[in-house]
Structure 1
């Protein structure tokens, strides 16, 4: 869908705070409240934007993560879609380059991470799984960096989070009806969870909607300190994700850009960094799954 400047301003506002009121959005973009509400609803109905709660990984006990480069025997799309059914895999793409599939895993500890990788290796059609084990997420638009200052107290708190993971803009009155509390009590609990860093409500936007439809993954071999090199790479605006890791490379990341030329220019800038010894890159050809609003699960 084509977005005008006002639509884009609304989207960027919701990326910062997905529960901004229509009145606040209207003031920010210079519209009436009904006009702002109509535009938000249109964005949501087309699927260009989803507004969801991202729960802090510590709350979900998601303490381990990895990036998998996967080769297949035969067609890769069916394998990618099978991997995408796993709750431990929030991100799965079909890619160009040496490997045909890239996937991110987030699990409740390294034992579950190992089991999940072994399960993927056993899937029909999988030839090779090459994991990079993440040690630190340096830059991640969907990760709450600071530790929560409050805790999830009971099942009602958990239910509120689950409902907001499905629809981050649920009005307090409707949310109250779903969880069985008064509107006032629901509002109080919700604000406590959001302000305490347990969750953040954000807009998930397809990159092409913002004119940034070119996604390139990369891994870097580093001379010297990976942490110091990561600081320089993370400062690049088009680098939207970056993690330090163990395996065939010390850093893995994503470039989100407006053109192939912008992707190339960013890769060249990365190559020029003195600590970078080797660069491997690939294009994300099809986004099979991107869901960081993962509710509680048992494994």
Structure 2
């Protein structure tokens, strides 16, 4: 059994229901949460605090309508590094975290090293970020861009 399976095995059906409900609606009052998962308020609150303390719940955030902010352009960028030593990967990772337009960064096993999700207001803004920032990140060898035409499913919960 893997460490992850052991961790998930520690969660009973009530814990799993709590996590599922909160991933849908993070601002749900404890009394409503308790009703939805079939517990009274006090045991639900104890479980909620334990799930937070154990790191299953890392935090709460608002889901922002990026289009209303004028940030509708999404591009996915394949990044191939010139160097993939641990030091190079660490330098790239640290630099990516400092770029606000990069919403997500995933290390990939495959033909390229990283996949970035980049959000900007339009293609011209994206082009500037690509040329001035992404291409200048440590150890970047080359990039390939895929522009999103429509988000069909976006469920981070």
What range is the shorter-chain TM-score in? 0.7 to 0.9
SS in 1 for 2:47: helix
- Residue in 2 that maps onto 1:163: 21
Question: What is the 5 A alignment of 1:221-260?
Answer: 221-225=80-84, 227=89, 228-260=91-123
Paired position in structure 2 for 1:203: 62
- 1:219 to partner: Cα distance: 0.7
Q: CA offsets, 1:27-62, max 9 Å, x none?
A: xxxxxxxxxxxxxxxxxxxxxxxxxxxxxxx86x6x
Q: CA RMSD in A?
A: 2.6
**TM-score, structure 2 as length reference:** 0.79
User: Structure 1 CA distance, aligned partners of 2:97 and 2:37?
Assistant: 40
1:2-48 deviations in Å (ceiling 9; x for gaps) = xxxxxxxxxxxxxxxxxxxxxxxxxxxxxxxxxxxxxxxxxxxxxxx
TM-score, structure 1 as length reference: 0.44
- Choose between structure 1 and 2: higher strand proportion: 1
Cα shift readout 1:249-299 (whole Å, capped 9, x = no counterpart): 111101111232321111002223462221101211100001122xxxxxx
Name the residue aligned to 1:114.
Answer: none
SS at match of 1:281: strand
1:176 maps to what in 2?
Answer: 34
Give 5+ residue unaligned stretches, structure 1: 1-57, 62-147, 294-299
Instruction: Measure, in 2, the Cα distance between the counterparts of 1:223 and 1:173.
Output: 54
- Corresponding residue for 1:218? 77
The answer to whether residue 139 in structure 2 is matched with residue 280 in structure 1 is no
Runs of 4+ displaced beyond 4 Å: none
Q: Secondary structure at the match of 1:285?
A: coil
Could you tell me which runs of 5 or more consecutive residues in structure 2 were left unpaired when the two chains were aligned: none
Q: Decide whether aligned partners of structure 1 residues 192 and 265 sit closer, same or farther in structure 2, where only a CA change above 3 A counts.
A: same
Using the alignment, how far apart are the partners of 1:152 and 1:171 within structure 2?
24
- Cα distance in 2 for partners of 1:243, 1:217 equals 11
CA gap 1:162/1:234 in 2 versus in 1, 3 angstroms: closer
C-alpha spacing 1:211/1:196, structure 2 compared with 1 (3 Å)? farther
